[in-house]
Amino acid sequence: MKNYDVAGGMFDPFWRDLPFLNIHNSITPDALHQLYQGVVVHLINWVQEVMSEEELDRRIRCLPPTCGVRHFRHGISSLKQVSGPERKNIGKILLACLAPDMPPKGVKACRAVLDFIYMSLYGSHDDETLKYMEEALDDWHVNRDYFIEAGTREDFNIPKFHSLLHYVDSIRKFGTVDNYNTELFERLHIDFAKQGWRASNKRDHFPQMIQWLSRQEKILSSEAATGAAGFGAMDVDGVQRSSLSQYRYTIAKFPPEPHKSIARVMVSHSAPNFLPCLKIFLNNLLNEPKPRSRALRADLPIEAVDVWHQFKLRPDSQVDGEIVEEVIKAVPFNKKSASTRFDNIVVIHSDEAESTSLQGKCYVYLGMCCY
């Protein structure tokens, strides 16, 4: 009976005498709770012990803000109830904060674990990518002794790290990890439970939540029907939007710099060509645009514009069950901001665009967001 012990003290499991049953096949990898809320948590704790929490926070605060990467301006040691997406963002910057306090062996160990995590989350796998995962796991086993030598661990008998050994086999048997990752259901819990609770008056909330969900479903069905009929959906400002749009843009209701003169815009945003570009843009909005030369000589009907410093870009698709939202910023030097930030973006403007090159793409220096 000892060989059939399972968690929870079950000494006579129901599947003991079932034929053709391998109970281990029912335990599939869980990227959210095993990798991000397990392995990454241990890795962060060990790094904090090696270089101290204060030093790691100092290095994280020194990292410059970057598009697609969260900037932890207060560090990470003060975070409470850290979520899976926050662990992901910490994992993106952790490796850049290790040297020189951590020797090469420790850096290699951390890099191997992070490489394994990112490769395990691929949307498709073949023998070559699975081989990369096995090599990363081998590198971890070769270099992990550093944490024992540093005194942060006595052994690595940790269930979350043991689960890494089964990822390749599980992917071969059941497909990519996103097929059985609980992160998707965590996201649905937000959409179907938390948002409905917040919309209720917190009293006799279940009928209100059901009614709220029913209304959301009807709204989505209506949008799908109007889109199928060839009509564009309406955004929050009442502006018609194409039903074929792949991205959604959101911007603040009020601009940080309202009614900013064009001359100030050209100086503060380092955009000397803003005036001619604005003339050409406004000319193209006319039903009968003037020739380019005449448009550049024409006087503008406005002397100032409202300037926004950022907008959010969210595609309709999800990555690992998480809705990806990019914040694009163009922040000039001002009293409220001691440092400037102008993001560079690559815009797809051709059907020939490729994911691994700049063919069919247009490089854009984002100098401002104005209206």
Give the predicted TM-score (pTM) of the model: 0.67
How confident is the model over 8-12, as a mean pLDDT? Answer: 65
How confident is the model over 127-143, as a mean pLDDT? Answer: 95
Phi, psi of 350 (to 5 degrees): -150, 150
Report the share of the chain in percent with pLDDT over 90: 37
Annotated domain spans of the chain: 23-179, 184-241, 247-370
Which class for 190: exposed (0-12), middle (13-18), buried (19 or more C-beta within 10 A)? exposed
Residue 369 has a pLDDT of: 43
Residue 93 has a pLDDT of: 92
Please give the full DSSP string across 38-70, using - where no structure is assigned: IIHHHHHHHHHHHH-HHHHHHHHHHSPPBTTB-
| Max mean pLDDT range (65-69, 95-99, 143-147, 366-370) | 143-147
* pLDDT, tens digit (0-9, with 9 covering 90-100), for 312-366: 887 655 544 455 677 888 888 776 666 778 887 776 666 666 655 555 545 444 4
pLDDT band of residue 39 (cuts 50, 70, 90) is very high
**Residue 247: closest CA among 193, 180, 315:** 315
At 149, the amino acid letter reads: E
Three-class SS state of 10: strand
Token pair for 111: 């890099």
Q: Who's near 184: CB < 8 A, 6+ residues apart?
A: 178, 321
Residue 162 has a pLDDT of: 92
Residue 245 has a pLDDT of: 45
* pLDDT, tens digit (0-9, with 9 covering 90-100), for 167-195: 999 999 999 998 888 877 777 888 888 88
Looking at the DSSP assignment, which residues form a beta bridge with residue 363?
346
